[in-house]
């Protein structure tokens, strides 16, 4: 129980840091200095007013200095990050693999928020994932059972994740005469591939494409976006990656999907 609480609290703290990254990185500002300020009155926020979730509750969602409202998204991001870290504890326990995968989920959370709002994926985060994923592959059970399997799968995952999307980008540009895949998505999945390996990263891209298509078509049908309007793909890649960690092996899920489709077709025909 103590370990779960510790992981959750660490997630809350990292969630607070995620808010800083989400606000500053798109503006090319330092994520470390200066201390965070109120966006309304520009006063520095004291440490005791920056305790995850607790400070928001004690301050009743308002700045101590000027009384302006603090957006609910800030404590929400802290809570989400805490829950994501707990889910990694559920998968890996209190092991060496826990820290790199918590860092992966933290990065995906930041990327989701930034790409959703600004349609950019910071290269700094993607390059960090490449480095951490490659270094931590030795203690990564997702990549295999032996050290050799893990190193090889991390290496293949790096090229499969980035290479597959790079191929889509090249072919798409030849066909449609415009960019169909952002460079940020390519670098992101190269980094993710070094964490989860070849098979899982391709499966994550498949899930992301499926979810993105469903959401995109729904938005077009309900006239929330126009037909040729671009949507951020990073959030779907992040969600696909997260789901892949919990789903069975890709071939099992694909067989399950095909079985459901077959049953639907049979009912439609009959």
Residues 113-130 pLDDT 10s = 999 999 899 999 999 999
Statement to judge: residues 243 and 138 lie in one domain: yes
Q: Is the pLDDT of residue 172 over 70?
A: yes
* Domain-located, residue 99: no
- Out of 51-65, 156-170, 185-199, 216-230, pick the least confident: 216-230
Other Cβ atoms closer than 10 A to 9: 13
| DSSP assignment letter at 69 | B
* Domain-located, residue 101: no
* Domain-located, residue 132: yes
* Domain-located, residue 102: no
Statement to judge: residues 68 and 125 lie in one domain: no
CB 108 within 8 A of CB 242: yes
Q: CA distances (Å), 244 to each of 11, 213, 236, in order?
A: 21, 18, 12
As a whole number of angstroms, the distance between CA 149 and CA 179 comes to: 35
Confidence band, pLDDT 50/70/90 cuts, at residue 226: low
Here the tokens at position 65 are 């200095």
Which of 33, 59, 94 is a domain's end point? Answer: 94
As a whole number of angstroms, the distance between CA 180 and CA 166 comes to: 10
As a whole number of angstroms, the distance between CA 62 and CA 66 comes to: 8
As a whole number of angstroms, the distance between CA 113 and CA 18 comes to: 9
Statement to judge: residues 61 and 150 lie in one domain: no
Statement to judge: residues 138 and 38 lie in one domain: no
Statement to judge: residues 56 and 131 lie in one domain: no
User: What is the separation, in whole angstroms, between the first and last Cα of the chain?
Assistant: 53
Q: Which domain holds residue 63?
A: 1-94
* Domain-located, residue 105: no
As for how many domains the chain has, the answer is 2
- Burial degree of 172 (CB within 10 A; 0-12, 13-18, 19+): middle
Statement to judge: residues 56 and 140 lie in one domain: no
As a whole number of angstroms, the distance between CA 48 and CA 35 comes to: 13
* Domain-located, residue 112: no
Statement to judge: residues 137 and 184 lie in one domain: yes
Note the pLDDT tens digit of each residue in 51-110.
899 988 988 888 887 878 888 999 999 999 999 999 999 999 989 999 999 999 999 999
As a whole number of angstroms, the distance between CA 178 and CA 15 comes to: 36
Mean residue pLDDT across the chain: 87
């Amino acid at each position: 129980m103590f370990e779960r609480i510790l992981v959750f609290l660490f997630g809350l703290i990292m969630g607070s840091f995620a808010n800083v990254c989400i606000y500053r990185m798109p503006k090319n500002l330092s994520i470390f200095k200066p201390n965070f300020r109120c966006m309304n009155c520009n006063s520095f926020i004291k440490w005791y007013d920056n305790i995850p979730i607790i400070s928001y509750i004690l301050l009743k969602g308002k700045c101590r200095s000027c009384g302006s409202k603090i957006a609910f998204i800030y404590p929400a991001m802290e809570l989400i990050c805490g829950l994501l870290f707990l889910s990694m504890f559920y998968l890996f326990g209190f092991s060496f693999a826990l820290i790199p995968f918590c860092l992966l989920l933290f990065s995906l959370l930041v990327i989701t928020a930034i790409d959703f709002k600004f349609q950019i994926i910071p290269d700094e985060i993607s390059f960090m994932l490449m480095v951490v994923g490659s270094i931590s592959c030795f203690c990564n059970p997702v990549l295999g059972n032996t050290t050799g399997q893990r190193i090889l799968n991390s290496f293949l995952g790096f090229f499969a994740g980035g290479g597959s999307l790079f191929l889509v980008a090249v072919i798409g540009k030849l066909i449609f005469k415009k960019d169909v895949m952002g460079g940020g998505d390519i670098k992101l999945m190269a980094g993710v591939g070094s964490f989860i390996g070849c098979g899982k990263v391709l499966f994550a891209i498949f899930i992301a494409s499926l979810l993105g298509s469903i959401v995109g078509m729904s938005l077009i049908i309900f006239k929330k976006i126009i037909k040729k309007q671009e949507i951020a793909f990073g959030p779907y890649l992040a969600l696909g990656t997260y789901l892949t960690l919990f789903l069975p092996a890709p071939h099992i899920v694909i067989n399950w999907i095909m079985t459901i489709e077959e049953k639907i077709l049979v009912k439609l025909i009959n």
